Structure 1
């Protein structure tokens, strides 16, 4: 087992152990809150939690692949489906983080407009439109990676007849890269650069507004800081290296050798999102405090 495979397996395990229980908790609390009194931020948080749950549900497949030294010993059809489920949340998380930042900014900067009765309809439409864009992009990427040429089809068919194991979405043909690299560049712009600019604008503006309100409670300011830090961690650690590989690959017309390491970092996305849930949701903070007290009660004194 190579060093990269060992590190990838460790990251997947850590992400699953931290992200899965927190995301399930956030998802359930969002549903409960929406049933009682829905507000736009709860809709965006629910979609972000759903996106992370999709990612975490299929993460054990990546654990198996890493444990096999990045050799695919599972059915070929599962490779294609797991790729769709692995990359889709990477696209959706950035868009929903941008939507959350915009919602927080509008809530503070334009409180009157924020209370419009149509805001719930607008939020729902934004979420539906976001998922449509993500699904179309994921399908297009899927086809570009596997069905763009007869060479790719023949390779896939030959692999299905061979007893030897093969890799999943690692070694791509020249024809595949020709079709896939422009798609990756577009993904870097639409799903990373634009959401990052939106988040930076909204949170910088939000900080300026809060600095003009010295009477605000310290806890509220700390939660805003936590929200901003959590969002920046996701973009800086999880999304930036991965999308940088798209840009470098497009310029050099190749699949960067270090792309695998960026995929490892992108996996940590589901570890950072609970910070955002904690800073936004009062129910999440209350539930975590209760869980912490229960765990402390079982610890020996």
Structure 2
């Protein structure tokens, strides 16, 4: 299992970083030139993925050490908090993208009158606040474990005492009292940050597909691409975030923290690689930027090949 975790994290990091940097560069310049709500939301999703990838090396180190926490313990609550916040922030941003697309085809005239980029900015900030508040337990529990230490001492400033013993793992082992807090909160995360967004996504994309299928003035190729994008986004949402959130329900029923949660988390981790694919099919700017990069690489390779030329023959 550790080898699977380590391999999954490394592959996600190596694939996700360049793809999301390219997407960030594209959306950043597009928003600066002429901001549209969908571009603001996709830029926010890219930033969330990049923050996630920036903290992924902590998980790589943890998996390489056999799930023992060998880094300075204050990094445990902070890195875990940011890691999980960005995962759930992605679910809310993907939901907002589905709502924006649905409103654009269901109420094109009425929605165009109130379509403002600042609303997308406000939504993005709200999502960060909501996920941070809901995921605060990921910071509180490890910090409380560290503060208690061996003797449960806390210094006058509210931090861990000098003789406190750092736990050997990070947010993995819980006492019975801690489980009584963690398990219900995880069920709340499943309901509020997964089920509700997924139901909204299903409603928006199913109606999006039905409306597109009835529109006569859209080319067949464009219609099929839009429908494929909607179905693909739903599949990515369910496959990436479903298994990990299902572990919350199983843990609540069994009143324990499931050991296979880390394996289920791999699918959510891999979402950072799949989001750029959604960007590619949903944004012409990303497709043009990627094509431009490939043309530049081919041109440089051609110049290198031509620059070598045949070696001159040595004169006798």
Residue 62 (1) aligns with residue 64 (2):
no
Residue of structure 1 in register with 2:128 after alignment: 131
Secondary structure at 1:58's aligned position in 2?
A: helix
Structure whose CA Rg is larger = 2
Q: 1:275-295 deviations in whole A, cap 9, x for unaligned? A: 211122111011122233445
Alignment partners' CA distance in 2, 1:252 and 1:151: 27
Which structure 2 residue ranges, 5 or more long, are not aligned?
A: 154-159, 306-316
Q: Report the counterpart of residue 32 of structure 2 in structure 1.
A: 35
Distance (Å, rounded) in 1 between the aligned partners of 2:143 and 2:71: 17
The unaligned stretches of length 5 or more in structure 1 are: none
CA shift for structure 1 position 227: 2.4
How far apart, CA to CA, are the structure 2 residues paired with 1:260 and 1:130? 24
What is residue 257 of structure 2 aligned with on the other side?
A: 255
Deviation string, structure 1 residues 91-110 (Cα, Å, up to 9, x no partner): 10110000000000001111
Structure-1 residue corresponding to 2:237:
235
CA RMSD of the aligned region, Å? 2.6
How far apart in 2 are the matches of 1:82 and 1:17?
A: 19
Distance 2:296 2:168 in 1: 46
Aligned residues: 296
Shift of 1:86: 0.9
Per-residue deviation, 1:6? 0.8
Return the TM-score normalized by structure 2: 0.85
Residues 249-258 or 124-133, more deviating: 124-133
8 Å contact 1:230–1:273 — kept in the other structure? no
Aligned to 1:115: 112
The equivalent of 1:276 in structure 2 is 278
How far 1:20 moved relative to its partner? 1.1
Residues 226 and 279 of structure 1 are in contact (CA less than 8 Å); yes or no, is this contact kept in structure 2?
A: no
1:48 aligns with 2:45: yes
Residues 137-146 or 6-15, more deviating: 137-146
Contact 2:78 2:139 survives alignment (8 Å) = no
Name the CA distance, whole Å, in 1 between partners of 2:12 and 2:222. Answer: 28
Counterpart CA distance in 2 for 1:24 and 1:228 is 24
- 1:181 equivalent among 176, 180, 183: 183
What's the CA shift for 1:215?
Answer: 4.0
Q: Distance in 2 between matches of 1:271 and 1:159?
A: 42
Structure 1 residues 80-139: Cα deviation after superposition (integer angstroms, max 9, x where no partner): 111012101111011000000000000111111221255333322222221211121122
Aligned 8 A contact 1:146 1:176 in 2: no
Normalised TM-score (structure 1): 0.89
1:225 matched residue in structure 2: 227
SS of the aligned residue for 2:242 comes to: helix
